[in-house]
């Protein structure tokens, strides 16, 4: 269990922590990351004091780059006072918080640039906020140590850089498309534009930049600290020095890596995404004999606190047992998936999953937010869509929904309760992975277990009514749980829907299509329920709430991307459901059309069309889908509901 209530990673919390340690030693990495977070916040909000914080952060970077493990925390007068009252959550750098990049990698990236360009004159190191701004001061510190004239700054697209005849080095997280970096590089004054320094998962990720003439220096993934740490000799030495083994007795000994489950950064594992943090399955000699365990990366600084808390505190038969916790690794029980969860698990599986979510919430309680804090962006977006306004009505709606979400005490959510994380082990027991992912998502700032409970509706094919009834049995009282769960599903769906196109895996096309369809249907039903709760906030016909859309005539965006159920062109009624003969004709038409294009997945009385390649926008697939509509006995049978859908029965 936790020793106390967890404080959310907010700007105010970081500021007060630095204030409490002013003039005293502090662990160097935590001090540096805390100062960088405050500097970035000042840049994002144009708060006076950004320049002083930039210089303070750079001084901390110099000492961290020099190998110092402890820093004297700066005097508090150097930090803007208003930050002590800023309750916003720290924006996560994807590189340092999620992807496996560490601060030493920034120094290695600077070394790579120095090795290729020994004639460099004055430079401006510009970190692309958010992630690049954490790496830029470290790169600047290393270039300074090599004798270069260096300035450091941060930038977002649309902001101007004060270049002053300096060579501009743009630093960012590992790029996905490279579009942001290309735009910034081309906007730099002068014929050479800007150069790019980035860690990469694959050198091909920056090929587009190079084809456009941008000079790029990369640090390949095999050279990242998190990758090299998982090599057998390095891993053994690291665990000997840093591991806090959870069981009493002699510390286990690393005997080597398990073939086929070596370092996932170097030899990809089946089912593990390319951009996931590195992990390796190791053979351990313990007092009880030989066993397998998984060593997985967690962020070693302030961004890993949530994962380490979960690893040390969560006790559940569902998630892997924690064997050891270190600053940058968690060693866990190795699970062997024997079967997928399946599209319609038996009811007892949902019960087990709900037990896990509620147990985790009890074990990882979070300090309640102070009144008057910032409204989470996701609630603002949902409120605006539900009410059709961006005025006081939407603000009141957001406040009402936040109140509904307070029905359960705040806790660190799992945030990875989608179907792909659940499976059955070889003993037929329900298990899950992903429970150590960072709880503070960039696209969803809510710290409530209701998000996980809403996700279970989708993963386990259950209705909100079912989860609400089972929650009421566990937490008896006068409260009804449907409305809080409906709000949570809209917030979860907004975040998850934006994520699906970015992480689409054609090898899991069928599962993703089912998830997208269930999520879209669930959001439509939830939106109607929440609008009823908010109806008293709407004054009259002129401010009537927008109608909820259940199916669209064509996708409002990507082919596979659940969205808030408003806007776009609603599908026209199809009249009576198709006859038996029409259903057979539709199935044959879909089978012919889908060959090489999509996988047709049956879900109830519909066929879902899961693209066999990364899903694109409707505009690029319009002609192909219009061809399918013409092949169907009735063109109106083809609609969109989170994914292209062909109706085979009555529309509910």
Residues 255, 283 contacting (CB under 8 angstroms): yes
pLDDT digits (tens, 9 = 90+) for 132-177: 999 999 999 999 999 999 999 999 998 989 888 899 999 999 998 8
Mean pLDDT rounded to a whole number for the chain:
91
Rounded Cα distance, 550 and 533, in Å? 19
**Contact partners, residue 495, CB within 8 Å, separation at least 6:** 378, 441, 443, 444
pLDDT at 442 over 50: no
pLDDT-based confidence at residue 438 (cuts at 50, 70, 90): low
Could you tell me the fold of the domain covering 97-223?
A: Rossmann fold (3.40.50)
So what's the pLDDT on residue 651? 63
Residues 649, 605 contacting (CB under 8 angstroms): yes
- What is the percent of the chain where pLDDT is above 90? 72
Q: Is the peptide bond before 130 cis (omega within 30 degrees of 0)?
A: yes
pLDDT digits (tens, 9 = 90+) for 361-411: 999 999 988 888 889 999 999 999 999 987 888 999 999 999 999 999 999
The CATH class, in words, for 338-543 is: alpha beta
So what's the pLDDT on residue 369? 83
Is residue 560 within a helix (H) or strand (E), and if so which, with residue range?
none
Residue 390 has a CB neighbour count (10 Å cut-off) of 12
Domain boundaries, the chain: 11-91, 97-223, 225-334, 338-543, 551-652
Rounded Cα distance, 645 and 602, in Å? 10
DSSP string, 16-44: HHHHHTTTSEEEHHHHHHHHHHHHHHHHH
pLDDT at 650 over 80: no
Summarize the confidence of residues 404-424 as an average pLDDT: 93
pLDDT-based confidence at residue 1 (cuts at 50, 70, 90): very low
pLDDT at 467 over 70: yes
CA angle 505, 509, 515 (to 5 degrees): 100
**Which one, of 475, 478, 422, 421, lies nearest residue 450 by Cα?**
475
So what's the pLDDT on residue 616? 64
Is residue 647 within a helix (H) or strand (E), and if so which, with residue range?
strand 644-647
pLDDT digits (tens, 9 = 90+) for 522-564: 999 999 999 999 988 876 544 578 999 999 998 877 889 999 9
**Which one, of 490, 476, 568, 492, lies nearest residue 523 by Cα?**
490
Summarize the confidence of residues 330-334 as an average pLDDT: 95
Equal fold, 97-223 vs 338-543:
no
DSSP class of residue 250 equals S
pLDDT digits (tens, 9 = 90+) for 87-126: 988 988 999 998 999 999 999 999 999 998 867 789 999 9
So what's the pLDDT on residue 479? 81
pLDDT digits (tens, 9 = 90+) for 474-486: 998 878 999 999 9
pLDDT digits (tens, 9 = 90+) for 220-263: 999 999 999 999 889 999 999 999 999 878 889 989 999 989 99
Summarize the confidence of residues 261-285 as an average pLDDT: 89
pLDDT at 2 over 50: no
Residue spans of beta strands (DSSP E) within 113-155: 123-128, 150-155
């Amino acid at each position: 269990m936790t020793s106390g209530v967890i404080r959310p990673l907010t700007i105010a919390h970081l500021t007060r922590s630095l204030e409490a340690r002013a003039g005293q030693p502090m662990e160097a990495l935590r001090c540096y990351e805390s100062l960088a977070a405050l500097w970035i916040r000042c840049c994002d909000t144009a708060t006076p004091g950004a320049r002083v914080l930039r210089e303070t952060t750079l001084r901390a970077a110099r000492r961290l780059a020099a190998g110092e493990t402890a820093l004297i925390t700066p005097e508090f007068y150097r930090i803007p006072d208003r930050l002590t009252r800023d309750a916003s959550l720290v924006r996560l750098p994807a590189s340092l918080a999620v992807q496996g990049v560490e601060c030493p990698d920034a120094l290695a990236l600077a070394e790579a640039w120095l090795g290729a360009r020994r004639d460099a004159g004055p430079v401006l190191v510009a970190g692309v906020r958010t992630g690049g701004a954490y790496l830029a001061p470290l790169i600047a510190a290393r270039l300074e140590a090599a004798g270069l004239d260096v300035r450091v700054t941060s930038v977002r697209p649309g902001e101007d850089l004060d270049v002053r005849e300096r060579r501009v080095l743009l630093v960012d997280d590992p790029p996905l498309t490279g579009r942001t970096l290309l735009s910034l590089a081309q906007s730099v004054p002068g014929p050479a534009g800007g150069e790019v320094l980035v860690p990469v998962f694959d050198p091909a990720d920056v090929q587009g930049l190079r084809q456009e003439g941008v000079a790029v220096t990369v640090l390949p993934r095999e050279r990242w600290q998190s990758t090299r740490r998982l090599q057998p000799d390095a891993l053994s030495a690291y665990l000997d020095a840093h591991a806090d083994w959870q069981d009493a007795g002699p510390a286990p000994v690393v005997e080597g890596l398990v073939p086929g489950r070596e370092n996932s950064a170097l030899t990809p594992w089946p089912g593990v995404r390319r951009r996931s943090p590195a992990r390796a399955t190791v053979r351990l000699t313990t007092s009880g004999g030989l066993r397998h365990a998984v060593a997985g990366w967690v962020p070693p600084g302030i961004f890993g606190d949530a994962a380490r808390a979960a690893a040390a505190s969560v006790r559940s038969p569902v998630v892997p047992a924690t064997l050891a916790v270190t600053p940058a690794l968690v060693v866990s029980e190795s699970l062997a998936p024997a079967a997928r969860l399946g599209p319609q698990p038996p009811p007892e599986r949902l019960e087990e999953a709900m037990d896990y979510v509620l147990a985790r919430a009890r074990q990882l309680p979070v300090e309640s937010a102070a009144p008057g804090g910032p409204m989470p962006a996701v609630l603002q977006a949902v409120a605006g869509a539900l009410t059709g306004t961006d005025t006081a009505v939407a603000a009141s709606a957001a406040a009402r929904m936040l109140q509904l979400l307070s029905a359960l005490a705040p806790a660190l959510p799992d945030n990875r309760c989608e179907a792909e994380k659940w499976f059955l082990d070889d003993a037929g027991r329900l298990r899950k992975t992903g429970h150590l992912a960072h709880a503070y998502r960039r696209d969803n700032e809510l710290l409530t277990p209701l998000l996980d409970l809403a996700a279970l509706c989708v993963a386990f094919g259950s209705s909100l009514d079912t989860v609400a009834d089972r929650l009421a049995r566990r937490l008896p009282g006068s409260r009804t749980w449907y409305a809080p769960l409906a709000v949570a599903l809209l917030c979860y769906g907004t975040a998850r829907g934006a994520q699906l196109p970015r992480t689409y895996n054609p090898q899991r096309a069928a599962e993703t299509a089912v998830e997208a369809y269930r999520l879209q249907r669930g959001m439509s039903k939830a939106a109607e329920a929440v609008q009823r709760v908010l109806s008293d906030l709407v004054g009259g016909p002129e401010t009537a709430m927008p109608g909820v859309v259940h199916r669209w005539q064509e996708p409002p965006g990507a082919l596979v991307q659940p969205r808030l159920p408003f806007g776009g062109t609603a599908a026209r009624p199809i009249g009576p459901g198709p006859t038996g003969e029409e259903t057979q004709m539709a199935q044959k038409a879909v089978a012919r059309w889908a060959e090489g294009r999509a996988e047709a997945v049956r879900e109830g009385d519909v066929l879902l069309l899961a693209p066999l390649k990364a899903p694109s926008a409707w505009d690029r697939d319009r002609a192909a889908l219009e061809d399918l509509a013409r092949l169907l006995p009735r063109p109106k049978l083809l609609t969109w509901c989170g994914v292209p859908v062909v109706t085979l029965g009555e529309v509910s």
